[in-house]
Amino acid sequence: MKFFADTADTAEIADLAATGLLDGVTTNPSLIAKSGRDFMEVTKEICGLTDGPVSAEVVALDHETMMKEAEVLRRIADNVCIKVPLTIDGLKTCRALTGEGTMVNVTLCFSANQALLAAKAGATYVSPFLGRHDDNGFDGLSLIEDIRLIYDNYLFETQILAASIRHPVHVLECARIGADVGTMPPKVIKALANHVLTDKGIEGFMADWAKTGQSIL
């Protein structure tokens, strides 16, 4: 399972990249607004921090303008992945862009049928929004399960990018189901390393090591 950082905060991305745990980045208009930075400038900087795909989202709603925006965005760097909404115009744009060899992430997926359409449009990634599903009383994990089943039934190559991941249990369940990628805030990726028994074990080993009076260096 690949881990993408769901943020436009370049300091957080650089910090995570240094751990070797970062496989790519996803941004959206809300994250760009939160960063307070120029879209083009911050996206270019992010693309330089990872070799993996960096999702940059179009903001037009019609196919023609989406294509024009995608043309601008894909010139930023080779690892830009164009993010389009799961609408008929977004799917049309997806088909056109993937036909030209551009990576596409079809975002805002909330049903298995939508994911089926994204795969048929040749999407590189489909992004089911797990947390937002749960927030609205739906079962986000069942959605990921259904998409996995459907994609496996037809051997679709579209990768399931579990998005809107909120906590480590979401990550665990997505890994069990077989989501190809999880995108989440960097703090969630780091939280995966936490365990109370690891902390307790370190504390015990440190205390016993101090008793030996030795040093390794």
Give the closest residue to 56 by CA, choosing from 84, 82, 86, 89.
Answer: 82
Least distance (Å) from ligand E4P to the CB of residue 63? 21
Using rule CB under 6 A, residue 183 touches ligand E4P: yes
Q: Which is nearer to ligand E4P, 185 or 212 (CB)?
A: 185
Calculate the alpha carbon distances from 87 to 30, 54, 122, 212 in Å: 19, 21, 14, 65
Characterise 101 by phi-psi region: left (phi > 0), alpha (psi -120 to 50), beta (else): left
Using rule CB under 6 A, residue 28 touches ligand E4P: yes
CA gap 161, 163 in Å, rounded: 6
Least distance (Å) from ligand E4P to the CB of residue 214? 48
- The count of residues interacting with ligand E4P (CB under 6 A) is 11
Least distance (Å) from ligand E4P to the CB of residue 1? 15
Q: Which of 2, 34, 68, 83 is catalytic?
A: 83
For residue 99, the number of C-alpha atoms closer than 13 Å in the C-beta half-sphere is 9
Q: Which is nearer to ligand E4P, 67 or 188 (CB)?
A: 188
Using rule CB under 6 A, residue 26 touches ligand E4P: yes
Q: Is 125 strand, coil or helix?
A: strand
Residues 112-171 that bind ligand E4P (CB under 6 A): 127, 129, 131-132, 163-164
Cβ pair 181, 2 in contact under 8 A: yes
Q: Is there a catalytic annotation at residue 83?
A: yes
Q: Is 214 strand, coil or helix?
A: coil
Using rule CB under 6 A, residue 107 touches ligand E4P: yes
Judged by the rule CB under 6 A, the positions of this chain that interact with ligand E4P are 6, 26, 28, 107, 127, 129, 131-132, 163-164, 183
Catalytic positions: 83
